[in-house]
Amino acid sequence: MALSQLEVTGAEVYATQVGDRLTQRGHQVFYVSDTLSCPHKGQHFRLLFNKRSLPRRVWHVLYLIYLILRYKIQLVHAHSRASGWSSYVACKLTNTPMVTSVHGRQPVHRSRKKFHALGYHAVAVCENIAQQIIRDLGVPREQVSVVRNGVDSQQFSPLPAANNDKPIIQIIGRLTGPKGELVYQLLKQCIDLNTNKVQVVSGSHVDKRFAEFEDKVEFCGYSDNIRSTIAQADLIIGAGRVAMEALLCKKPVFAVGEAKALGYISLDNLPAALASNFGDVADDGKTELDIDYSNLAEQLASFGEQHQLSEQLVAAIKAEYDLDAVCQKLLETYQSAYVYTKQQEVPIIMYHRVTQDDSQKGAYGTYVTLERLEEHFQTIKRMGLSPITFSELAEIGLEHRFNHGKRYIILTFDDGYQDNFDLLLPLLKKYQFKAVIYAVTGTDHNRWDVEHPTKPDQRFELMSHQTMREIDQSGYVEIGGHTLNHPKLAELSEAEQQQEIEQNKAELESLLGRELTTFAYPYGNHNQQTKQLAKQAGYTFTVATDSGPIGMHQDLQQIRRIVMFPSTTKFGLWRKIKGNYTYKKASKQARQIDE
């Protein structure tokens, strides 16, 4: 997490709360910033990003490169322009994935348009910011998404209404820059300081211009427990994180920020509040604060008439800003950044039958000889890859598949042939490898090929129920679903597809005494309806063949696999599983479609 700041900001709270939640999920998080006031788990390195002379920036880049290499950093998440610029150069030089959270409106100038310095993806905290960097900076739309500030909804749960003799109004935020001017004008023009008790909660130095309010306003300084602080208040004035946290605590909020005044937040103006980060970012490109303070004074004078916040409003805020949901969206972005920057994904390779020699090759060549398969296993072992099953991947956590020092591969075998038990299983035991076998249950042989109308194949036996149970219990194989009769699912009706998928799953689960995790489309053939039915059946991981996005996490109902042929040599295998094969093939397919 890279930040440039000299005082507590919403970006720091965002970075540390997200960082702590990622730490809870097993990730190691480091912080690099000028200062870091919020409590946090993870090591902090002080780097003066706000010193922006050319020599300083060169030093920033060199120091970031040192940290990336020394601590084996796999992704950099920047949270400000100054830290983002240095992080961008350091990440380019080390081929490290980078994303940037954009917390406020970006300055527009020629160099910024040409040199976005946002990394793989820009994550805007509200829609108006996203629109601004697309419109004014020319950042491609596909490189921008909205992921809101994460708020721990348990920490900021509803509070009882304050019971004060004199209403307490708290203004929470910085006293520097545009927000400082805003606070000054609110005190000067808008709030009746005689009928209300006003508290200003800020970590900023109190400028001398605020001296005129010392007798009537309490300047409380920084609060490290904002929930207990706002528990005293009857009304909160602020924008950004302040507003959302107060609303989750069921405190009335008067939203006024650096760009616009929204007034009291309700369900009616919530869409505008979300889009503008509660008043901090305009939707029209304006850079100067344009607020009618007399109008604000009238609104604030009616504070006693405001009704209590509705449960629907609190629920809507929770749905938008829940920290776990925000972290999940960020993790998906992180994974995409890693896959597309490194051009790597966990290889999932596909076999069918295993034979003693070429005499059993059949009409379609969906086999590999035992000798060739052992060559493949030797290559996999030499490359330091660890074969795992999809159940093990679920236990590891999909987001952890790229953890430093780990290189995974998934070996899959379609249809469930008897030779998988006779020849594959002993080889798995010899090399201590794991594999996934996708089993057909509606026939005892490859009837779909034998009864082919124009190119009938010879008969090859499938595993019996007893054999399937035995191989599943061996500890080396995970059984997955593969339909009853191996049809081209997309050519069937919805009811027929559902029966093929769900009855096959029910039979296998009854046989094996456990729930299935993964399913494979026969021939890789499917449509959107098929994908939905597989998900509805309860499959977490569904594999296709050579279709689907590059990143596994991008569509768990259409995971790409790499086909192995009888002719795939050790070198051919190495080329396909070293990491970037899927990226290159998918990119080539996309270019062909465009052409």
CATH number at residue 440: 3.20.20.370
Secondary structure (DSSP) of 246-282? HHHTT--EEEE-SS-EEEE--TTTHHHHHHHTTTTS-
Task: Note down the domain range covering 207.
Answer: 168-321
The whole-angstrom separation of Cα 543 and Cα 108 is 45
* Half-sphere exposure for 81 (CA within 13 Å, toward CB): 13
Residue 278: closest CA among 245, 315, 243: 243
Same domain as 133, residue 19? yes
Same domain, residue pair 419 and 554:
yes
Query: Which ranges in 383-422 belong to alpha helices (H)?
Result: 390-396, 418-419
What is residue 307's predicted lDDT score, i.e. its pLDDT?
Answer: 58
278 plus 355 within the same structural domain: no
CA pair distance 167, 300, nearest whole angstrom? 12
> Please, which residues bridge with residue 349 across strands?
411, 562
333, part of any domain: no
Flag whether 329 is in a domain. Answer: no
Classify residue 416: in a domain, yes or no: yes
Nearest to 175 by CA among 4, 3, 6: 6
**Per-residue confidence (pLDDT) for residue 591, from 0 to 100:** 66
* pLDDT at residue 505 in the model: 98
Pair 394, 429 in one domain: yes
Q: What is the pLDDT of residue 131?
A: 94
Position 574 scores a pLDDT of 96
Cβ-count burial 386-421 (b if 16+ within 10 Å, e if not)? ebbbbbbbeeeebbebbeeeebbbbbbbbbbbbbbb
513 and 564 belong to one structural domain: yes
> Within this chain, do residues 427 and 296 fall inside the same structural domain, yes or no?
no
Q: Are residues 387 and 531 in the same domain?
A: yes
Give the DSSP letter string of 299-334.
HHHTGGGPPPPPHHHHHHHHHHHBHHHHHHHHHHHH
Look at residues 146, 177, 210 and tell me which one is the last residue of a structural domain.
Answer: 146
Task: Give yes or no: residues 178 and 281 share one domain.
Answer: yes
Predicted local distance difference test score (pLDDT) of residue 72? 96
Q: How far apart are CA 177 and CA 31, in angstroms?
A: 25
Q: Which of 256, 286, 321 is the last residue of a domain?
A: 321
**Element at 520 (helix H, strand E):** strand 518-520
Residue 326 within any structural domain of the chain = no
Residue at 328 is within a domain: no
**Domain match, 446 and 508 both:** yes
Is the distance from CB of 389 to CB of 436 less than 8 angstroms?
yes
Token pair belonging to 196: 């209300």
The DSSP bridge pattern shows strands 261-264 and 253-256 to be: antiparallel
Interstrand relation of 408-415 and 144-146 (parallel, antiparallel or unpaired): unpaired
Structure tokens at 438: 């996708």
Tens-level pLDDT at each residue, the chain (595 residues): 999 987 777 789 899 999 999 999 999 999 999 999 888 999 999 999 988 889 999 999 999 999 999 999 999 999 988 899 999 999 999 999 999 999 988 877 776 677 788 999 999 999 999 999 999 999 999 999 999 988 888 888 888 888 888 899 999 988 888 888 889 989 999 999 998 999 999 888 898 999 999 899 999 988 888 889 999 999 999 988 889 999 999 999 999 888 888 889 999 999 999 999 998 888 765 655 667 888 888 888 877 665 568 889 999 999 999 999 999 999 999 999 999 999 999 999 999 999 999 989 999 999 999 999 999 999 999 999 999 999 999 999 999 999 998 999 999 999 999 999 999 999 999 999 999 999 999 999 999 999 999 999 999 999 999 999 999 999 999 999 999 999 999 999 999 999 999 999 999 999 999 999 999 999 999 999 999 999 999 999 999 998 999 999 999 999 999 999 999 999 999 999 998 888 888 777 766 666 5
Whether 401 and 367 share a structural domain = yes
Which stretches of 43-167 are assigned E, i.e. beta strand? Answer: 44-46, 76-78, 98-102, 121-124, 144-146
Task: Give the global pTM.
Answer: 0.88
Q: Is residue 114 part of a domain?
A: yes
Specify the pLDDT at position 162: 84
User: Domain with 316 in it: what CATH number?
Assistant: 3.40.50.2000
Half-sphere exposure of 487 (CA within 13 A, CB side): 16
Residues 141 and 263 reside in one and the same domain: no
Number of domains in the chain: 3
Cα 453 to Cα 456, 457, 488, distances in angstroms = 7, 10, 15
Q: What's the CA gap between 139 and 178, in Å, rounded?
A: 26
**Does residue 367 belong to any structural domain of this protein?**
yes
Angle 10-24/241-248 helices, nearest 10 degrees? 60
Task: Note the pLDDT of residue 17.
Answer: 93
Residue 366 and residue 254 share a domain: no
The answer to whether residue 336 sits within a structural domain is no
Angle at 94 between CA 93 and CA 98, to 5 degrees: 95
What are the DSSP calls for 438-468, one per residue? EE--S-SB-HHHHT-SSS-----BBPPHHHH
Q: Of 123, 94, 578, nearest to 341 (Cα)?
A: 94
